[in-house]
A and B are shown apart, each in its own frame.
Chain A
């Protein structure tokens, strides 16, 4: 099976923005439901667990539990937004609505579609991250301008999870397939990445696994930038996230080309 080779272009092509814009226009129509799912949900967790569970907790890394948790929930919400978008929403456009098929009938390429979806899902996770950061300001967890520097990290987390999520979408035959990904990948990742407690609390072997996970890398960076915690390997954190983002989108593109253009 060969797929259509797309002629390389001499200049950087921005056609993927048409796909981003299309998704934005749909989002604008459905944005209230989308905001409740992507933004309110992690906020409720933050307040509920942060104050409820936090009342029984000693300070973590020298700060109230809710502060520590907020740094993790910021990344968790970015992961969740990108993942839901790249899985369920993108799969609807691939299979149920055949939106991508229609786009490919125009002078658009599979790369335009996949990069557009990748960037769009990452933008959605950036919106969720921004909402979490705003909540952290309102709850008095962060102050000043320095925490804003976390936003590029949130975008990077979004690109990493949307890239990996699009691989799952490219492989999926139905929505049920995503249950495997959520249960076997996303949920363990959440517990191995130190969202709710420091990774140091885990057995050494599980800590070692965590070192390879994009959510753990993102959480370390985000806690450093928002809460001032020391970051052990900032450069490596960025590189790991970039590797997931680039590797994810490239593999997804290859798989989607094979699926749609053979």
Chain B
């Protein structure tokens, strides 16, 4: 459904995408993860033909991009990171007007509106003004709008950023429905639990390159120790320097917390018993641990 080969892009001498290769099969949900500035958004913009790459080839829904970008975009849906719904239109009008940009007959779009509203859980809001919608409702409407052309592939740029847990779960539920219906999804996110939950495969980008790509389960199984003990409190620095390395394969201190990665947490937790003032959280490793291991603890602004 989407093939990207050797993609490169520089902005005034600064190469933000440095040779990215990946492909997404039909019906797959692919997550593009990475710190801010890793090149995710630029990659997605290139895929849609909104930014011209310096090198590389892209095929989206069978069309070469950017040469046939319009044809490719007519088969794709986009749920952007920032709300760009039309505030002057009602909920239903937003869908109908957006459908017109695809050159779809107005009647066809109007026939699709009830199903799209149902999908968004906005059946009783068809004539509501945009200003009366909550953030979660707007995001669901944006998602429904991305389906107005019945797309084969849907691009979602941080689909749940800024939403409360209830609204996030509802979006996840809808995305799972889309995946079950055989649509291809490609999403960027900062939430590793989101990627772990939704994505068949994830690609982790950093500094413009794809540095790891696999199923979330395989990444957790192969790229990191299975167990993490987070230790914090008075004396954590000394403990991390002297005691922890004896019981954990790898110890990283970030701020006031020591992250101890190990196969078996028992000896470390036992050693902690004799260190009063230290508190510990023992848990299974997750995708976020893989992400941090691969991209580091440093803040990227």
**Chain A residues within 8 Å of B, Cβ to Cβ:** 1-5, 7, 15, 18, 21-22, 25-26, 29-30, 97-99, 101-109, 260-262
Tell me which residues across on chain B come within 8 A of A30, comparing CB atoms.
88
Q: Min CB distance, A240 to chain B, in Å?
A: 35
- B255, CB-defined interface residue at 8 Å: no
A26 adjacent to B73 (CB under 8 Å): no
Tell me which residues across on chain A come within 8 A of B48, comparing CB atoms.
105
Mask: chain B, 56-74; 1 = CB below 8 Å from A; 0 = not: 0000000000111111011
- In angstroms, Cα B69 to Cα A5, docked, is 10
B101 adjacent to A106 (CB under 8 Å): yes
A99 adjacent to B86 (CB under 8 Å): yes
Pick the interface stretch among B17-25, B76-84, B237-245, B288-296.
B76-84
B101 adjacent to A4 (CB under 8 Å): no
Tell me which residues across on chain B come within 8 A of A22, comparing CB atoms.
86, 97, 100
A1 adjacent to B69 (CB under 8 Å): no
Main secondary structure of the interface of A (DSSP, over half): loop
A4 adjacent to B51 (CB under 8 Å): yes
Tell me which residues across on chain A come within 8 A of B123, comparing CB atoms.
none
| Closest B residue, CB atoms, query A96 | B87
Question: Contact check: which of A5, A101, A108, A109 meets B84 at CB < 8 Å?
Answer: A101
- B102, CB-defined interface residue at 8 Å: yes
A25 adjacent to B93 (CB under 8 Å): yes
Question: Contact check: which of B84, B97, B103 meets A98 at CB < 8 Å?
Answer: B84
- B26, CB-defined interface residue at 8 Å: no
Top-8 shortest CB links A-B = A106-B101, A98-B84, A105-B78, A102-B84, A107-B70, A107-B74, A26-B88, A107-B73
| Closest A residue, CB atoms, query B83 | A98
B80 adjacent to A107 (CB under 8 Å): no
Tell me which residues across on chain B come within 8 A of A25, comparing CB atoms.
89, 93, 97
B70 adjacent to A104 (CB under 8 Å): no
Known: A18-B103, A107-B71. 20 other contacts (CB 8 A): A4-B50, A4-B52, A4-B69, A5-B66, A7-B68, A26-B88, A26-B89, A97-B84, A97-B86, A98-B83, A101-B80, A101-B82, A102-B85, A102-B86, A102-B98, A106-B101, A106-B102, A107-B74, A107-B102, A107-B103
Q: Min CB distance, A78 to chain B, in Å?
A: 24
Count chain B residues whose beta carbon lies closer than 8 angstroms to a beta carbon of A.
34
Contacting A at CB under 8 A, from B19-38, are none
Q: Min CB distance, B116 to chain A, in Å?
A: 15
Q: Min CB distance, A202 to chain B, in Å?
A: 43
A18 adjacent to B50 (CB under 8 Å): no
Tell me which residues across on chain A come within 8 A of B12, comparing CB atoms.
1
| Closest B residue, CB atoms, query A104 | B50
Mask: chain B, 251-279; 1 = CB below 8 Å from A; 0 = not: 00000000000000000000000000000
- In angstroms, Cα B196 to Cα A226, docked, is 71
A106 with B51, Cβ < 8 A, contacts A4-B66, A4-B69 known: no
- B159, CB-defined interface residue at 8 Å: no
**Would you give 14 A-B contacts (Cβ < 8 Å), ordered by A?**
A3-B52, A4-B66, A4-B69, A25-B89, A30-B88, A98-B82, A101-B80, A102-B98, A103-B101, A106-B74, A107-B73, A107-B74, A108-B70, A108-B101
Tell me which residues across on chain A come within 8 A of B50, comparing CB atoms.
4, 104-105, 260-261
- In angstroms, Cα B127 to Cα A29, docked, is 14
Q: Min CB distance, A260 to chain B, in Å?
A: 8
Tell me which residues across on chain A come within 8 A of B69, comparing CB atoms.
4
Tell me which residues across on chain B come within 8 A of A261, comparing CB atoms.
50-52
Tell me which residues across on chain B come within 8 A of A26, comparing CB atoms.
86, 88-89
- B49, CB-defined interface residue at 8 Å: yes
B101 adjacent to A262 (CB under 8 Å): no
| Closest A residue, CB atoms, query B96 | A25
- In angstroms, Cα B101 to Cα A22, docked, is 9
Question: Contact check: which of B54, B70, B74, B88 meets A109 at CB < 8 Å?
Answer: B70
- In angstroms, Cα B100 to Cα A215, docked, is 36
Tell me which residues across on chain A come within 8 A of B66, comparing CB atoms.
4-5
Question: Contact check: which of A2, A102, A104 meets B52 at CB < 8 Å?
Answer: A2
A18 adjacent to B100 (CB under 8 Å): yes
Tell me which residues across on chain A come within 8 A of B70, comparing CB atoms.
7, 107-109
Tell me which residues across on chain B come within 8 A of A103, comparing CB atoms.
101
| Closest B residue, CB atoms, query A15 | B103
- In angstroms, Cα B73 to Cα A108, docked, is 9
| Closest A residue, CB atoms, query B88 | A26
Q: Min CB distance, A250 to chain B, in Å?
A: 20
- In angstroms, Cα B102 to Cα A22, docked, is 13
| Closest B residue, CB atoms, query A9 | B70
| Closest B residue, CB atoms, query A29 | B88
A1 with B86, Cβ < 8 A, contacts A7-B67, A105-B80 known: no
- In angstroms, Cα B101 to Cα A106, docked, is 6
A102 with B80, Cβ < 8 A, contacts A4-B50, A25-B89, A107-B71 known: yes
A262 with B51, Cβ < 8 A, contacts A22-B97, A107-B74, A107-B102 known: yes
- In angstroms, Cα B102 to Cα A162, docked, is 26
- In angstroms, Cα B15 to Cα A192, docked, is 50
Question: Contact check: which of A1, A97, A106 meets B98 at CB < 8 Å?
Answer: A106
Tell me which residues across on chain A come within 8 A of B51, comparing CB atoms.
4, 261-262
